Structure 1
């Protein structure tokens, strides 16, 4: 790994480290993840019993061998041989039964999870190198919403994700909410989940997708329905025009330079569609798909040289002056 990416990796861990709970399939917060957690504990219990029995049999064999070291190894022992044959045959049969039981448990869990899928809130998630484009679908074009790297959902309701990729294979995984689902170019896979309590849940790409795979994080933020509706309505609004002179300067620089060719900010002339929409970027918790915590200072550092934190990212190093970088960072930080 390029040593320049190490600070970004550490920052990514810190940026996502304050989320509620841990990033583990054994810390479930919904029925889909709960089914996977139950299956995991069942596997662990069965394998633990098998391991203990194996160790006990090994210990018994070693002790028995020590007691019979003096015996003639060529002497026939029909009764002992029959017992050994029966024991081995029984254990082979038991192993087959265990494998069948584990396979059946996996199949039934998968079938149960598939039965939980439903429409509810429908989002289209597109994996990019290395960020997540999230589109809230609606029959009304004016209510279609595009955000990046953060998914806000209502508690206790089914959320259906239509997963695809714009470049290489990615894998969507929020361990506390559901299992892994691949995002494949020119194909749409479906994943559904329900969050059973408010909170922020960590997720990441779980399929190696290039140099910055480790910096492709995401957050799922669950709200009570009223709070989610308020968030959604706020996100649909265009960006507020800045009143401070420094932020007005930042808006002018942003919309007149190459920033506006890639990024969009609703309510301004910036209409780019190849990079994350920044209309309300200041309200997000992280920068660069979990690479840095959100702050005005970190925005300035990111704008000045994103490759210092995320080498290989598509965003080019800027040629803005330090004053202009500060003004743009102040402008973006205020977009909430």
Structure 2
């Protein structure tokens, strides 16, 4: 178990015991549990640590904006303190000084005019910096790009890698792999409500609107694992709708693609064969695809290589046999609001099903 997993599970257990009317609090508690894990051992999720050229442009704009705003704030604060220090002291019985109504205050007028002009210049400067950043973001060279399609669902992510040759395409869930130094073009779609694609280490936010397709382009220049998050409230489990982007050297990426294109292995014993039969003839096959078997559902994630993913349920919990079994048995207790129904299998059948799913490496 990873460091921080126990506190996270305890938070989730406590949240699950709350009444239904307090479901928003259950999601908040689960999210806080997620933060506990993120702090200790998690993929990078930091806009201030860019790992690609697009994120670097955004970070530069943020730095300029922060610097200008900080200087303006400091200047206003200093002016306020000087005004307070120089203000004449008067007693309660003193009459108000109305002399400024009859005599022009040229010095004050010059100071206010200069400050107004400086504010306009700074605002136009920030606008120019914003425009230049936007132009830089749109000029990413995209020759030899990796093309894929990402769809946001309530509450998970589906990524489909384009076919280089007929029949070679494949789908993964909640996990992207990209080669370092090579541009990536992602077509973004939403299946139900508005979602927002956001990987702060690699790029800014991009809305995913039902019925409309948009694209986002980025390039990872540093190998690593980066956390993505839905940044638009999309329902009960919005806080637990995350994914990872694994940026790796081209050779490792090519090896990963080759593994993902292979079908699921055949069962090696009677227990695994029973598990496959339960999966393909039961409700599981109505929602999930496992290439190499007769299961071809499209409502849920593709499970062909599910055991190669470190996390389950859109980065909600660690992918271990115990968590997998609990997830199949009672998904609502682990992720309140999930659309996956609870299993009605006996303990023996559940053991066989998990034994077969564990072969899907």
Instruction: Answer yes or no: same fold by TM over 0.5.
Output: yes
Which of 39, 47, 51 is 1:25 aligned to?
A: 47
The whole-number CA distance in structure 2 between the counterparts of 1:265 and 1:24 is: 34
The whole-number CA distance in structure 2 between the counterparts of 1:11 and 1:282 is: 23
8 A Cα contact 2:27 2:239, kept in partner: no
User: Secondary structure in 2 aligned to 1:200?
Assistant: strand
8 A Cα contact 2:28 2:239, kept in partner: no
1:53 is the counterpart of 2:75? yes
User: Secondary structure in 1 aligned to 2:85?
Assistant: helix
Report the TM-score, using the length of structure 1 for normalisation: 0.93
Cα offset, 1:231, TM superposition: 0.5
135 and 222 in structure 1: CA distance in 2 versus 1, 3 angstrom threshold: same
CA deviations on 1:268-321 (whole Å, 9 max, x unpaired) are 111111110000000001111011111111111111111112222221111112
User: Secondary structure in 2 aligned to 1:143?
Assistant: coil
Moved more, 92-101 or 316-325: 316-325
Alignment of 1:222-261 (within 5 A): 222-261=247-286
Which of 189, 211, 215 is 1:164 aligned to?
A: 189
1:327 is the counterpart of 2:352? yes
In structure 1, what is the equivalent of residue 3 of structure 2? none
1:108 is the counterpart of 2:137? no
User: Secondary structure in 2 aligned to 1:221?
Assistant: strand
In structure 1, what is the equivalent of residue 14 of structure 2? none
In structure 2, what is the equivalent of residue 279 of structure 1? 304
Number of aligned residue pairs: give it: 335
In structure 2, what is the equivalent of residue 198 of structure 1? 223
In structure 1, what is the equivalent of residue 109 of structure 2? 85
In structure 1, what is the equivalent of residue 121 of structure 2? 97
Report the TM-score, using the length of structure 2 for normalisation: 0.87
The whole-number CA distance in structure 2 between the counterparts of 1:247 and 1:296 is: 14
User: Secondary structure in 2 aligned to 1:319?
Assistant: coil
8 A Cα contact 1:297 1:329, kept in partner: no
8 A Cα contact 1:117 1:193, kept in partner: no
In structure 1, what is the equivalent of residue 327 of structure 2? 302
Cα offset, 1:193, TM superposition: 0.7
Moved more, 158-167 or 132-141: 132-141
8 A Cα contact 1:255 1:269, kept in partner: yes
Alignment of 1:143-162 (within 5 A): 143-162=168-187
275 and 16 in structure 1: CA distance in 2 versus 1, 3 angstrom threshold: farther
In structure 2, what is the equivalent of residue 74 of structure 1? 98
71 and 65 in structure 1: CA distance in 2 versus 1, 3 angstrom threshold: farther
Cα offset, 1:166, TM superposition: 1.0
Cα offset, 1:10, TM superposition: 5.0
8 A Cα contact 1:15 1:286, kept in partner: no
The whole-number CA distance in structure 2 between the counterparts of 1:330 and 1:9 is: 30
Cα offset, 1:238, TM superposition: 0.5
8 A Cα contact 1:171 1:180, kept in partner: yes
194 and 103 in structure 1: CA distance in 2 versus 1, 3 angstrom threshold: same
8 A Cα contact 1:171 1:207, kept in partner: yes
Cα offset, 1:14, TM superposition: 5.7
The whole-number CA distance in structure 2 between the counterparts of 1:113 and 1:195 is: 14
CA deviations on 1:122-145 (whole Å, 9 max, x unpaired) are 010011111111000124232111
Cα offset, 1:187, TM superposition: 1.2
Mind listing any 5+ residue stretches in structure 2 that lack a counterpart? 1-21
11 and 258 in structure 1: CA distance in 2 versus 1, 3 angstrom threshold: farther
